[in-house]
Amino acid sequence: MSKEISEVLIIGGGPAGMSAALVLGRSRIKTIILNTENARNMVTQHSHGFLTQDGAHPSEILKIAKEQLLKYKSVVYKKEKALDLIPNGDHFQVKTENQVYLTKRVIIATGYKDNVDQVGIEGLAEVYGKSVYPCPFCDGFENADKKLAVFGDAVMAPMFSKTIAHWSNNVIVFTNGDQMKDKELLSSLQKNGIEVIEQKIDKLLSKDGILEAVQLQGGRIIKREGGFLPDTKAVESTDFAKKLKVATEEGHFGMEMYKVDENKETEIKGLYIIGDARSGWGGVAKSVAEGSEVGAAITHQIISEKWAV
Ligand SMILES: Cc1cc2nc3c(=O)[nH]c(=O)nc-3n(C[C@H](O)[C@H](O)[C@H](O)COP(=O)(O)OP(=O)(O)OC[C@H]3O[C@@H](n4cnc5c(N)ncnc54)[C@H](O)[C@@H]3O)c2cc1C
C-alpha cells in the first residue's frame, strides 16, 4: 500500500468537512479530504435555512463546494472511505481500501446516519425526507398549515408536537401503542388543540413519498399531509471517536456529545471533531460554521509551531 502525507486529513465531506477544507485550502495547508458523498440530508429534496442556498438540493450544495475547492491546490479531494484511524506517536494513520495516509491532524466530520427502519412504522422510510422530516426549522415552513402527524414515543412525540403546533394548528400525535403517562402534558396538548392517538399504527399510506394517511390497526384511516419525527434512531456514522475513547459531555436536550476545546480539538492532541459527528445534530449552517472555525484554529496552531522565538 502506498503512503500519502498531509498536514491535515479530514474524514467526511458534508457541510462541516467541506467548509474546513475550504478554509485550510485558503491557508495553503496541505489537506486531504476523504468523502463517501452520502451526507445525512441526501434523503431530502430541498435543504433550507442556509443563507444563499435556501431550497437547494443537498447534492447541488456538494457540487458547488467541490467546484470551489478545486481552485485550492493544497487540498486533495478523494471519494474514498476511511476504514481505520490509528494514532501513532506524533501523527495519525488513516487507512482506506488501497491507501494509508499519514497526517499530524485529523478532523472527524463523518456525521450521523438515521435509521428510520428501526422506528417500527411500516411505510415510514418511503416518506422520510419527502413529507415527513426530523426538523421543523428545516421543513416547517413548507408544511405550514397542513394536516400534520408527529410520530414517536409517548414522551418525545407529545413534547415535540408543541413546537410543531407553531407551524400548523392541525397536529395529531401518534405514539404507536405507547401510553402517555404525563396526564398534565396530555391535558395541555388537548387545550392547545393537539390530539394524541395511542393506538398502534398498521401502516402509512403515501403516494410518491407524500404522506396521505395513517392507517391504524383495526382499519381506521386518518388523513394527514405531512409530518415530523423527533427520534430517527440516529447513530454516529463511524466509530472512530468511540474507539479512541474521546471524552464526552452533556449537550442539548441531555444528548451526549464529544468534548472539544475552543479549537474543536479533543483531549487527544491533533484530533478534532465537528458538525453532527460531534453533537448529533447541527444543521447545515452550524456545521459549516464549525468547519470554518476548525480550519482557522488549525491554521493558527500551525503558524505558532513555525514561528521562531
Ligand atoms: C431529512 C433531513 C433533512 C434535513 N434538512 C435540513 C435542512 O433543510 N437544513 C439544515 O440546515 N439541515 C438539515 N438537515 C440536517 C443536516 O443534514 C445535517 O445537520 C448536516 O448535514 C450535518 O453536516 P455534517 O457535515 O456534520 O455531516 P453530513 O452532512 O452527514 O456529512 C458527513 C459526510 O461524511 C461522509 N462519511 C461518513 N463516513 C465516512 C467515512 N468513513 N469515510 C469518508 N467519508 C465518510 C458522508 O458520506 C458524508 O458526506 C436535515 C437532515 C435530514 C436527515
What residues flank ligand 1, with Cβ below 6 Å? 11-17, 34-41, 43-44, 47-50, 81-82, 109-111, 114, 129, 133-135, 138, 237-238, 275-277, 281-285, 287
Is the predicted pLDDT of residue 147 greater than 80, yes or no? Answer: yes
Q: pLDDT confidence of 2, banded at 50, 70, 90?
A: confident
CA of 14 to the centre of ligand 1 (A): 5
Whether residue 255 has pLDDT greater than 90: no
With the most atoms of ligand 1 within 8 angstroms of its CB, the residue from 9, 41, 46, 127 to mutate is: 41
Q: Tell me the three state secondary structure of residue 1.
A: coil
Task: Note the pLDDT of residue 309.
Answer: 84
Report the predicted TM-score, pTM, of the whole model to 2 decimal places: 0.97
Q: Rounded CA gap, 38 and 30, in Å?
A: 24
Would you give the DSSP letter of residue 8?
E
Grid cell, residue 49, equals 435555512
Give percent of the chain with pLDDT exceeding 70.
100
Nearest CA to ligand 1 atom 17: 41
User: Taking a C-beta distance cutoff of 8 angstroms, is the pair 116, 107 a contact?
Assistant: no
**Chain region(s) in the chain for CATH 3.50.50.60:** 2-113+234-306, 116-228
Q: How does 93-114 read in b/e, with b if 16+ C-beta sit within 10 Å?
A: bbebeebebebbbbbbbbbbbb
Atom of ligand 1 lying closest to residue 133 CA: 1
Cα-to-centroid distance, 188 and ligand 1 (Å): 35
What share of the chain in percent tops pLDDT 90?
96
Could you identify the atom of ligand 1 that is nearest to the CA of residue 291?
25
Residue of 40, 139, 255 to mutate, ligand 1, most atoms within 8 A of C-beta: 40
CATH architecture of the domain with residue range 2-113+234-306: 3-Layer(bba) Sandwich (3.50)
How confident is the model at residue 3, as a pLDDT?
82
According to CATH, the topology of domain 116-228 is: FAD/NAD(P)-binding domain (3.50.50)
Ligand 1 atom with least separation from CA of 128: 1
How many whole angstroms separate alpha carbon 181 and alpha carbon 87? Answer: 48
Which pLDDT does position 274 carry in this prediction? 98
pLDDT value at residue 55: 97
Nearest CA to ligand 1 atom 51: 41
Please compute the mean of the pLDDT values over residues 278-287 and round it to a whole number: 96
DSSP string for 218-282: TS-EEE-SEEE-S----EES--HHHHTT--EEE-GGG-EEE---TTSB-SSTTEEE-THHHHS--
Q: How far apart are CA 291 and CA 260, in angstroms?
A: 13
Rounded CA-CA distance 200/308 in Å is 69
- Of residues 255 and 128, the one with the higher pLDDT is 128
Average model confidence (pLDDT) across the chain: 96
* Residue 169, pLDDT above cutoff 80: yes
- Taking residues 192-207, report their average pLDDT: 98
> Of 74, 68, 81, 70, whose CA–CA distance to 29 is shortest?
74
Mean pLDDT of 16-40: 97
- In tens, the pLDDT along 63-114 reads 999 999 999 999 999 999 999 999 999 999 999 999 999 999 999 999 999 9
